[in-house]
Amino acid sequence: MNASARSSRDHARPGISAISIYLPRNRVDLERWCEWTGAPWAKVAAVVGRSFRVCAPDENVYTMAANAALQLIEANGIDPRRVGYFALGTESSTDNAAGAVIVRGMVDEALRVRGLPSLARDCEVPEFKHACLGGVYAMKSAARYLACEGRERVAIVVSSDIAAYRRGSTGEQTQGAGAVAFAMEAEPKLLALDLDRAGSASSYRGYDFRKPFARHFMADYRGEEQTPRDFPVFNGKYSTLCYVDEVIAALDAMFGRQGLDGDRRSYYESLAGIFFHRPYHHLPSTALATALTWDLARQAAGSGGEARAQLAALCEQAGVSAEDVLAQVDRRAGEGFDLWAEARAQGADHDPFAAVNHLAKLFRKQAWYRNFSANKLGLGAERVRQCGNLYTASLPAWIAAGFDDACRREAADASIQAGSEILLIGYGSGDAAEAIPATVMPTWREAAATIGFEAALANANDLDREQYEALHDGRAVDGLASTQGFVIREVGSKDRPDFADIGMEYYDFV
């Protein structure tokens, strides 16, 4: 679709008008972490990133979300009375009944302190949970609200999360914390979402990544930690298989809706950028390379000819059998194939797509792909390597970093231009994915100028080993950066017949 055609369609397409980001000030530098743990820094830097943030004891997903939302309102001059939809996407909430309304309460209090009106009384306040996809589901729901009864209103969507893993686990280096807020409108200023060309996918994947509540009551779960921690139950290799497989399924659904079942590479090449959910730096590139490899293999299986010759040459270089690759493509396309059933039968380390994935590793090393991925995945990539894994906020943070990056470049050097298309790919373990095309609006540069990504990264407090381990384990620690904005003042402890607030958090605005 050309830019003028998209422009005429996008007038009626809701999307994002402004973005803000909040990161806790306490930071773990991964090079120093490698010195503490003996992990290879070169590999960690290439695969994972450069640092991650850690919440202070007086922070949680609600305080971070409130900080991001308040920044969004103030930096963009949003009239709180126009906000008709305030959604929270998270997998780290601390209350199983309330959610976004807690954040709304904090924001309202801060607005009153500033002499401003509260959010509208008729504002909806839903919370969305599906692992790391909760924020994307919240964004889609907000777009649907704006397309229906909320066309004259503003929707705010906040993705806020804490990625925490047990010390010594394979996930420890992929921790992080932060929140990203979107202001969304029926006529967006930054990015229009093309939901009628988007693709969805979901499958139940069992134990790839879970947070079952019962684990808190089971013997030996807490370990060395002094307070209850929200460490996930996960199986790394299987989780990566699930991520890649579900992303490819969402892309298949998107291409099916667009009628692009032939050569998909030309579509990818037309994009100004691709932003993925990124639990660590290397995974989006792996997923994109694997998707392209699957596309080539399916073309070869369906039509032969040039695609078959390309596949044969690649297989010869990789030392894998083209017949094995085609058999795996055929098996995945067959009725009843279930990755979860495969894992239960063969074990979590079994790879039913071993030949295709081995081929994808070689594909990823080719000069063409290295240049292609640097071009399509490059915007904002260095900035988000400093954030760590933000779960639901990981994709929104990369979008924020990408537009902030593009805005700082000279117009002639920017790959993002008005009317260009980008692709948003969200994922949530357990398992679901979304592939959403979006169009850059003519006013994108002005809208991106208020993101403030560098300000969010500034004033970090680098933790030493003792501080990090004490903070991680819930022990008392000195030398932490003071929290600015919203903080947890106290946690209720009363459990009387006439009054109870046990476990309920009370907040202050500093």
How many residues in total does the chain contain?
510
Alpha-carbon distance of 59 to 51, in angstroms, equals 19
Alpha-carbon distance of 250 to 254, in angstroms, equals 6
Alpha-carbon distance of 134 to 141, in angstroms, equals 11
The pLDDT, as a whole number, for residue 5 is 43
Evaluate if pTM is beyond 0.85: yes
The pLDDT, as a whole number, for residue 280 is 95
The pLDDT, as a whole number, for residue 224 is 58
End-to-end CA distance of the chain: 49
Closest CA to 170 of 113, 231, 122, 125: 231
The pLDDT, as a whole number, for residue 223 is 60
Q: Which residues contact 166 (CB under 8 A, 6 or more apart)?
A: 172, 223, 225, 229, 231
Q: Which residues contact 473 (CB under 8 A, 6 or more apart)?
A: 167, 224, 225, 226
Determine the 3-state secondary structure of 469 from DSSP.
helix
Which structural domains are found in the chain, ordered by start?
14-197+392-424+440-509 (3.40.47.10)
Residues of the chain with pLDDT under 70: 1-12, 222-228, 304, 411-414
Inter-residue contact 330 to 301 (CB < 8 Å):
yes
Tell me the backbone φ, ψ of residue 62, rounded to 5 degrees: -75, -45
The pLDDT, as a whole number, for residue 219 is 74
